[in-house]
């Protein structure tokens, strides 16, 4: 049965890919040449294409009144980088089964992929009853004892209860209200159900964007967002990937079941390659679609080039940001193989509690107070701007409070006087300010800093890495090492001239390859070149979000006695 391309893509589950489509009719059916995203191709009647992927390319927005498109609203096209933060309006249309939720809603490993729903009736399980209107968080979909199910959680009395719901579970399920703020891109990737539109409320916009041509001035209402997808497909006699927008006026028919899907080229993403077993490496591949970017090695990975992929692995990186007061700071991922050296830069600490966290047994932490603090207790020290301290350890002190003795935490320090030292106790809750005084002149490698000091840690390049043609870190006025992360990489080299190898990130590089049945000349990779990867603002925040999911939050600092 034929349908429009838009209707077909809107109803298609990503897990059902790839699909083979036959062009039935449309304005592009008479051998016409179609050009999009720099690719030129023709779509003829009965032409066959294999859809390998699709993603939201842009959003069509209309002003919403009473959950419907306003009759006075014109449709506007919003790019995914349109600035602002948005709140999601809960969908009023129910889902009739868990299978429908799993098919239409994005459920994944990050916090964006944990949607919540409630049932209008109680659901009785073997040893657990989910009450009606109780918020059910969906965490993942997996096969359990031969049956597909969703791993779920409900929270009762601050305690989490885990259970599974089979996809066959029917009922009436509604989306829960979501009080989180999202960017437009986050909504596009995670929060628009398949086959449905999404209503959002604009919470704030950035003044850097001239929105007057897109939305009414001072607009703060609701928008209905309709996604337009970019479809990636393969044609039978072409090596490259074609890109088609889903609103293309053409009708298609799904002929997957009666077509030999192996007769098409099989494009693979870097994620697909990474999922292969270690025994399958090394392998030779041809790049079908290369990444954008001028920095090495991305500028070497052009379409049609053959590469050797030697192995897959996890590698440590330090996420670092430039120390700048303006908003134009750049972010980097620094490998442990970086051969440059760093000198320490002073750190700033907003409270005495922060001093306790970073103090090091190997050296005394020397700080200068930048903010005055008057202690309400005579047993605890009052601080003046310019006071200098050597931080020692945390201890409790007995203070007199409203005629009663009370134990509170304090930070034992030595105040540095002109010719002596004075033992003092700073309250842990004090809202002061301190700047570190650096006596250490030693130069450190990246791995030494991660091993010896508590991150975040401030540094500046003192010796640049001479193996890098242009060491971008050397030009930075200062760097803050924020955290050490672990990421997935592939080790590659050119197949024609394997003089050096490069590490490429699996999840931040959009690249498609096809495997070739060629033997690798040598299984041992050539020398690996060090690459400092610059990451965008969006990639930076995603890295921190993903990494911090596995970390426990730090304990709260002590509160001031009341």
Q: Give 149-174 as a DSSP string.
A: EEEEEEEETTEEEEEEEETT-EEEEE
pLDDT band at 31 (very low <50, low <70, confident <90, very high): very low
Does the residue 545 lie in any domain?
yes
Q: What is the pLDDT of residues 277-324, one digit of tens each?
A: 888 899 999 998 888 766 667 777 888 899 999 999 999 999 999 998
DSSP state of 29: -
What is the model's pLDDT at position 426?
A: 84
Q: What is the pLDDT of residues 98-133, one digit of tens each?
A: 999 998 998 877 778 899 999 999 999 888 899 999
The answer on 445 and 329 residing in a single domain is: yes
113, 145, 176: which is the final residue of a domain?
176
Q: Please state, as a whole number, how many other Cβ atoms lie within 10 Å of the Cβ of residue 403.
A: 5
The answer on 107 and 12 residing in a single domain is: no
Total domain count for the chain?
A: 4
The answer on 483 and 336 residing in a single domain is: yes
The answer on 428 and 352 residing in a single domain is: yes
The answer on 431 and 470 residing in a single domain is: no
The answer on 14 and 122 residing in a single domain is: no
pLDDT band at 137 (very low <50, low <70, confident <90, very high): very high
The answer on 536 and 517 residing in a single domain is: yes
Whether the ω angle into residue 280 lies within 30 degrees of 0, i.e. cis, is no
What is the model's pLDDT at position 411?
A: 82
- Cα–Cα dist 83/499, whole Å: 44
The answer on 195 and 313 residing in a single domain is: no
Collect all residues with Cβ–Cβ distance below 8 Å to 190 and sequence separation of at least 6: 106, 108, 110, 112, 113, 182
pLDDT band at 552 (very low <50, low <70, confident <90, very high): very low
- CATH number for the domain that contains residue 153: 2.30.30
**pLDDT, greater one: 405 or 457:** 457
What is the model's pLDDT at position 136?
A: 95
Residue 386 falls in which region: left (phi positive, over 0), alpha (psi -120 to 50) or beta: left
- Residue 306 burial class via C-beta count within 10 angstroms: exposed 0-12, middle 13-18, buried 19 and up: middle
The answer on 274 and 241 residing in a single domain is: no
Does the residue 559 lie in any domain?
no
- Cα–Cα dist 292/307, whole Å: 17
Does the residue 68 lie in any domain?
yes
The answer on 256 and 213 residing in a single domain is: yes
Q: What is the pLDDT of residues 224-269, one digit of tens each?
A: 999 999 898 888 767 778 888 888 888 899 998 888 877 788 888 8
Q: Which domain holds residue 6?
A: 1-81+183-265
- Cα–Cα dist 367/417, whole Å: 13
- Give kind and range of the element (H or E) at residue 25: strand 19-26
- CATH number for the domain that contains residue 384: 2.30.30.40
Mean pLDDT comparison of 42-56, 150-164, 371-385, 407-421, highest-scoring range: 150-164
Q: What is the mean pLDDT of residues 517-523?
A: 81
200 by DSSP, 3-state: which? strand
pLDDT band at 399 (very low <50, low <70, confident <90, very high): low
Average pLDDT score over the chain: 83
The answer on 285 and 229 residing in a single domain is: no
pLDDT band at 550 (very low <50, low <70, confident <90, very high): very low
What is the model's pLDDT at position 549?
A: 42
Q: Where are the beta strands (DSSP E) in 110-221?
A: 116-119, 123-124, 129-130, 136-144, 147-156, 159-166, 170-175, 181-182, 198-204
Does the residue 558 lie in any domain?
no
Does the residue 562 lie in any domain?
no
Does the residue 86 lie in any domain?
no
Does the residue 98 lie in any domain?
yes
The answer on 295 and 248 residing in a single domain is: no
Does the residue 419 lie in any domain?
yes
Weakest mean pLDDT among 45-59, 375-389, 537-551: 537-551
132, 161, 176: which is the final residue of a domain?
176
212, 237, 265: which is the final residue of a domain?
265
């Amino acid at each position: 049965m034929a349908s429009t391309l838009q209707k077909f893509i809107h109803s298609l589950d990503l897990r059902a890919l790839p699909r083979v489509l036959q062009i039935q009719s449309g304005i592009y059916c008479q051998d016409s040449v179609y050009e999009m995203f720099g690719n030129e191709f023709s779509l003829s009647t009965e032409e066959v294409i294999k859809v390998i992927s699709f993603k939201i390319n842009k959003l069509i927005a209309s002003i919403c009144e009473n959950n419907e498109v306003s009759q006075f609203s014109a449709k506007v096209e919003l790019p995914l980088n349109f600035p602002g933060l948005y709140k999601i309006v809960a969908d009023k249309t129910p889902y009739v089964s868990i299978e429908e939720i799993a098919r239409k809603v994005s459920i994944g490993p990050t916090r964006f992929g944990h949607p919540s729903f409630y049932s209008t009736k109680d659901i009785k399980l073997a040893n657990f009853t989910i009450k009606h209107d109780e918020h059910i968080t969906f965490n993942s979909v997996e096969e359990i004892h031969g049956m597909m199910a969703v791993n779920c959680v409900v929270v009762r009395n601050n305690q989490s209860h885990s259970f599974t719901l089979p996809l066959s579970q029917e009922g009436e399920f509604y989306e829960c209200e979501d009080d989180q703020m999202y960017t437009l891109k986050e909504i596009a990737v995670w929060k628009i159900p398949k086959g449905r539109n999404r209503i959002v409320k604009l919470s704030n916009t950035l003044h850097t964007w001239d929105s007057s041509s897109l939305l009414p001035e001072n607009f703060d209402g609701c928008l209905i967002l309709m996604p337009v997808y970019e479809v990636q497909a393969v044609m039978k006699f072409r090596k490259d990937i074609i890109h088609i927008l889903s609103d293309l006026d053409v009708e298609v028919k799904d002929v997957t079941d009666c077509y030999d899907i192996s007769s098409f080229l099989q494009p693979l993403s870097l994620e697909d390659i990474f999922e292969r077993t270690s025994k399958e490496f090394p392998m030779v591949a041809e790049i079908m679609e290369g990444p954008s970017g001028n920095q090495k090695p991305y500028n070497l990975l052009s379409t049609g080039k053959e590469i050797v992929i030697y192995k897959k692995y996890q590698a440590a990186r330090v996420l670092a940001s430039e120390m700048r007061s303006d908003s134009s700071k750049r972010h980097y991922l620094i490998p442990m193989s970086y051969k440059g050296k760093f000198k320490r830069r002073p750190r700033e600490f907003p409270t005495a509690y922060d001093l306790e966290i970073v103090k090091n047994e190997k050296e005394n932490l020397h700080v200068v107070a930048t903010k005055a603090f008057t202690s309400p207790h005579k047993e605890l020290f009052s601080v003046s701007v310019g006071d200098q301290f050597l931080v020692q350890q945390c201890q409790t002190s007995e203070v007199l409070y409203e005629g009663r003795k009370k134990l509170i935490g304090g930070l034992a320090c030595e105040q540095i006087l002109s010719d002596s030292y004075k033992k003092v106790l700073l309250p842990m809750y004090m809202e002061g300010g301190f700047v570190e005084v650096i006596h250490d002149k030693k130069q450190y490698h990246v791995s030494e800093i991660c091993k010896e000091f508590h991150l975040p840690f401030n540094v500046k390049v003192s010796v640049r890495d001479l193996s890098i043609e242009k060491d971008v870190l050397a030009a930075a006025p200062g760097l803050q090492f924020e955290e050490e992360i672990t990421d997935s990489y592939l080790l590659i080299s050119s197949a024609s001239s394997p003089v050096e190898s490069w590490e490429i990130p699996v999840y931040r590089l959009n690249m498609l390859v096809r495997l070739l049945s060629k033997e690798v000349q040598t299984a041992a990779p050539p020398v690996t070149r060090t690459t400092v990867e610059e990451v965008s603002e969006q990639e930076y925040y995603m890295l921190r979000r993903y990494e911090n999911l596995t970390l426990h939050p730090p304990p709260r600092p002590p509160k001031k006695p009341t």
